[in-house]
Structure 1
Amino acid sequence: MTENRELTKGDLLGPMVALAWPMIVIQLLQVAYNVADTFWLGALSADAVGALSLAFPIIFLLISVGGGFTAAGAILVAQHTGAGGDDAAGKVAGQTLTFVLGVSVVLAVLGFLVTDAMLGLFPADPETKARVIPLAADYMRLFFLGSPALFGFFVFVSLLRGYGNTRTPMRIMFVSVVVNVVIDPLLIFGFPALGIPAMGIEGAAVATVLSRAIAAVLGFYVLFGTTVGPTIERAHLVPDLDSIAEIVRVGVPSALEQSMASLAMVTLTAMIATFPPAVVAAYGLGNRLISLVFLPAMGLGQATNTVVGQNLGADKPERAARATWLAAKLVAVVMLVVAVVALAFAEPIVSVFLRTESATATETIRLGAEYLRVMAVAFSFVGAFQVFLGAFRGAGDTKTALAFSAVALWAVRVPVTFALAIAGDFGATGIWIAVAVGDVVGCLAAMAWFTRGTWKDSVVDRDSDTDDSRTSESTTTDDATGSPSDPVATDD
């Protein structure tokens, strides 16, 4: 467990960067799924790109429920690991796996059944309703049916991240993305020589599900066939009400946070669906590009989650605070550089992903470039916001993370979008401004609250974990001194 103890003693920057960069790569590969779909569907039609814009907020609304519980698993594994409780970390990992996979099956069936009803709630522009919404429905049905494969990989990544291992998930994610990139165009456009029919937007959904399934199988092999993560015994997979209650207690606020965020995105999408197809497509394309830009923020935010969790588990709250401020400053500088590039090359960047020649495509490129430029102003704030939210989650203070996500989305982004884009005269520009303002306000509010220090309590029993670890290692001695080894590292 030496690799995990490096997070609780000695230098902060090196271990944090070592933990964060694979997560940044994982996020890059995660975005590669969406970018690959957008790239190839952009060659198919602008309407297909618009369909993804409508589909993803609804998809995220349902899968965010399970996502909150995978986050709980990462938090609890991190804190038990920091406290020296190896067996407790393995048990919570097994319970998380069983619980989340059960939830994913229910959500898969539910999502498939409510696809048409959810899309039917959108007050769509007539052209959007006729051309875009049917394509979104085709994509969503297949995606939902395969969602347990997505959850399988997501929970694997979360559990290993909480343990302090981010390189193994990165390697598996790379394999999965390569598979997706290869089969995406084959299924979308067809390959008659191999007997593969053209499936259009449904082909993009099938490609994503198949590649995720491969990643999930590899992830389960790592969890049960190797020693690079928490040790999960068969008994750990048998549902235990006390363990599930702990996962639910920590996970429900995270699930609510993600669900609330996705519901806000659905609400925004409903507003945006009242605009012509070019605006809908630009919104979706811009969001995918922005998600690519925010990879350093997401990676450092997730690394902060683990570092804070393990240090609070090891009873080192001040070290957890130093790590958070260090990560916030680092990501702000990185995002400032990215913002300069986005401002200078917005239109060429957007045009790479939409190569069809039509009036709709031309207008989509113009609007997407405008969206990217407006958001560039807020990039540093968005980066720091993710770090502070990661710190709250790592502390198990998921209710606070929920509160500030609500501030950014429901107190700012949704009402400002309505005021500027729907009720006001700003049009599509009002949408872009609302997104940026929401993230700036959320960041400043979260940073102010973080300075109060009320997040610094661990949610696990450190003494119990330490006692269990000492008992299990009571026969282990240090080779040099012959004295009992201390399972919990301390600061130098």
Structure 2
Amino acid sequence: MTESGHESSITEGGLVRPMVRLAWPIVVIQLLQVAYNLADTFWLGRYSGNALAAISLAFPLILFLISVSGGFTTAGSILVAQYTGADSEGSAGKVAGQTLSFVAVIAVVLAILGFLLSDPLLSLLPADPETAAVVIPLATEYMRWFFLGVPALFGFFVFSALMRGYGNTHVPMRVMLVSVAINVVLDPLLIFGYGPIPELGIRGAVVATVFARFVATLIGLYVLFYTDAGPDVSLPDLRPDLGLVKKIVRLGVPSAAEQSTSSLAMITLTAMVASFPPAVVGAYGLGNRLISLVFLPAMGLGRATNTMVGQNLGAGKSERAERAVRLAVGAGAGVMLCVAVVAYLFPGPIVSVFLGSNVENAADIAAYGTEYVRIRTVEFAFIGVLQVLLGAFRGSGNTTTSMVFSMVALWIGRVPTVYVLAFVVGLGAQGIWFGMALGNIVGAIAAAAWFLRGTWKDAVIDETPSPGAPDP
């Protein structure tokens, strides 16, 4: 089953309508996810330029530590999609329950490790003296408070992934909207203080985010256990099932490795950037937050492709799955090309929205950030291609393949290029901007060549689909 009123449209009939119906709520969800980050960026950019630089350093380290669980939520989404396509509702609910309980344990462990390791990890960065004195302590405070709330954050991640695999992306979108509204209201109140509410500064941004995520997690658990909007989960499904846990681990480890190595690449890049003055660090973080908006259409299509491929392979319709991927690749490249034109023409006004004129280094951050955004527009169409193809590989259960091409994009196309251009060639900040743009170009070309081989079209579940209409 998928969303109400469209039970078989993912595996039967036209492709455009189910693709769009799956993709646009995912784009909105990711937009709302970015809204969390942009709200922090917006208010901290008006509170302190050093606070803005601090979250630029902290976020890659945070993403590295929490990426482990992301792989297992991806595994749950893949299995739910393929069992749903095979008309095995009971198995989909069981997988969902196993994913919930498994990731909950990981979340608690990571919360403890993250809190304890925040200071040691940040101390490893080869920071500029000014950055070390004024930015690193703020980044440490941000990380420690963030990790205390990690279990609350993970709950929504799991809920959203499971619902996406089931084919229902609208309900997570609505839940995310509630959560973001809470965060947007709390952010300025807690950062600056108001009336009896004390000024918490950078800590206030964390508290607002964690509380908003906690609300989203509670709503998500209610949907899974007490409604029929997603896979049918019950309390006995939380009891560990060794066979399913092994399958989740088998699929999840490559995805976790993909996400953690991606985060490690960002940490490596951040370490390079930290050797520059605070204005460059701030521009790098601000530019990355803005470019995360660019990923939204591509990520939406990629995750919709994940579900389309998973359910169609589960239903035994590999050719339909391939047609869905080709459709999404064309749409992704076209949409992202249009976004590139807008970002190239208007980078200055976009960057300046997120900087207060009275904060330290504002003019330099704006200048560097404008240059960064404009240079990276060259890769935007390739982002669309790469995200769709990675979604196709994941949906088929080829999580190792997805991992490899993510590593190609980052560890061949980006990290060494940034180092060579910035430090060996001596381009400085410009070398960072150009190097960052190259990764997705290299990854997209390599992934497209592999996709054309057609070796990715096998399901990973054991069940065969119930009889239905032939693949059109």
CA contact (8 A) 1:347 1:369 kept: yes
CA contact (8 A) 2:52 2:282 kept: yes
- 2:354 paired with 1:353: yes
CA contact (8 A) 1:4 1:163 kept: no
Query: Aligned ranges for residues 81-100 of structure 1 at < 5 Å?
Result: 81-100=84-103
Structure 2 CA distance for partners of 1:111 and 1:489, relative to 1, 3 Å: farther
Deviation of residue 356 (structure 1)?
3.1
CA contact (8 A) 2:302 2:390 kept: yes
Distance 2:13 2:435 in 1: 42
Question: Following TM superposition, where does structure 1 have runs of at least 4 consecutive aligned residues deviating by more than 4 angstroms?
Answer: none
Query: Aligned ranges for residues 390-401 of structure 1 at < 5 Å?
Result: 390-401=391-402
What SS does the aligned partner of 2:113 have?
A: helix
CA deviation profile, 1:8-42 (whole Å, cap 9, x unmatched): 11100111001100000000000000000000000
Aligned to 1:461: 462
Distance 2:281 2:129 in 1: 13
Deviation of residue 282 (structure 1)?
0.5
Aligned to 1:177: 180
Aligned to 2:128: 125
CA contact (8 A) 2:54 2:138 kept: yes
- 2:347 paired with 1:333: no
What SS does the aligned partner of 1:377 have?
A: helix
Is there any run of 5+ residues in structure 1 with no aligned partner, and where? Answer: 467-485
Q: Which amino acid aligns with 2:10?
A: L
Percent identity, aligned pairs only? 62
What SS does the aligned partner of 1:84 have?
A: coil
Distance 2:28 2:229 in 1: 19
CA contact (8 A) 1:75 1:162 kept: yes
Number of corresponding residues: 469
Aligned to 1:343: 344
Deviation of residue 358 (structure 1)?
5.2
- 2:77 paired with 1:74: yes
Aligned to 1:256: 257
- 2:67 paired with 1:64: yes
CA contact (8 A) 2:131 2:274 kept: yes
CA contact (8 A) 1:45 1:356 kept: no
Aligned to 1:421: 422
CA contact (8 A) 1:273 1:280 kept: yes
Structure 2 CA distance for partners of 1:359 and 1:143, relative to 1, 3 Å: closer
Distance 1:231 1:316 in 2: 24
What SS does the aligned partner of 1:432 have?
A: helix
CA deviation profile, 1:36-57 (whole Å, cap 9, x unmatched): 0000000011111111110110
Is there any run of 5+ residues in structure 2 with no aligned partner, and where? Answer: none
Aligned to 1:405: 406
- 2:32 paired with 1:29: yes
Larger mean CA deviation between 21-30 and 431-440 belongs to 431-440
TM-score relative to the length of structure 2: 0.98
CA deviation profile, 1:50-72 (whole Å, cap 9, x unmatched): 11110110000011000100000
Query: Aligned ranges for residues 65-214 of structure 1 at < 5 Å?
Result: 65-192=68-195, 195-214=196-215
CA contact (8 A) 1:314 1:462 kept: no
CA deviation profile, 1:392-444 (whole Å, cap 9, x unmatched): 00000000000001101111211111101122211111111111111100001
Distance 2:51 2:424 in 1: 28
Distance 2:440 2:294 in 1: 15
CA contact (8 A) 2:48 2:359 kept: no
Distance 1:393 1:246 in 2: 14
- 2:2 paired with 1:14: no
Deviation of residue 225 (structure 1)?
1.0
Aligned to 1:438: 439
Larger Rg: 1
TM-score relative to the length of structure 1: 0.94
CA contact (8 A) 2:320 2:471 kept: no
